[in-house]
Amino acid sequence: MSTAKKHKAMGDGEWMARLKKFATTGVWPSEAGNRPAPRQKRSPRSWPGMPTVPALWLTSISNEVGQILISVLTAQEGPGLDQMVSDLIARYTQAGVAPPQLLYVDCGCCVEAGGESKLKTRFSGWPDLVVRLDIYHFLRRLAGGCTTDAHHLYPTFMASLSVCIFEWDPADVALLRMAKREQLRQEGVSAITDYLVDR
């Protein structure tokens, strides 16, 4: 079911109740659990109303469905990010929401010589939090040996890497095939073969 249909089926009353809970707690409830993921974007231009600096970093933490929970604009990593993390931990505590269990990041997840990663130390308010590199950046690191991503075989290489990492759930594949077979039948296609369904 698409997100729009899901929200429409949810009903106005339930949807408004969720919005009121969000407005009260400041933390968006999600069905799959809260797993914030920091995202950093370097902005080389100055922002309106901000003093001119060589570059600014916009770091946002979002949940698994992309809703931004908190953001901070800094000139570099440091106290601004520490304040953002402590504020986020405080928001979860004040809202009475269980802390996240997983943190997918684009960098900083490697364990230092002392035994903890930089981000594990930064999120020490959540001791059970597991910090992992997100799959996109993991694949990019594996592909780091390629000299260029403009090569005509690069997409094939990346697709092959993806196949090595991800596994299709047989039950999901069976449901997809059944839905595709039904779609082809409704379109009036005759002699539906497995090859036609899998295309």
Establish if 111 belongs to a structural domain. no
Are 159 and 176 in the same domain? no
Mean pLDDT of 189-196: 86
Establish if 176 belongs to a structural domain. yes
Domain carrying residue 76? 1-100
Q: Which residues pair with 133 in a beta bridge?
A: 105
- 102 — pLDDT class (breaks 50, 70, 90): confident
Based on the number of CB atoms within 10 Å of its own CB, is 98 exposed (0-12), middle (13-18) or buried (19 or more)? exposed
Establish if 109 belongs to a structural domain. no
Task: Output phi, psi for 102, to 5 deg.
Answer: -130, 140
Are 3 and 94 in the same domain? yes
Are 149 and 76 in the same domain? no
Are 157 and 179 in the same domain? no
Mean pLDDT of 170-182: 90
DSSP state of 26: S
Question: Structure tokens of 127?
Answer: 């001791």
Evaluate the CA torsion angle 34, 40, 45, 46 in order and state its sign. positive
Are 18 and 73 in the same domain? yes
Are 50 and 96 in the same domain? yes
pLDDT score of 76: 66
Beta strands in 35-163 (DSSP E): 37-43, 56-62, 68-74, 102-105, 130-133
pLDDT score of 186: 92
- 42 — pLDDT class (breaks 50, 70, 90): very low
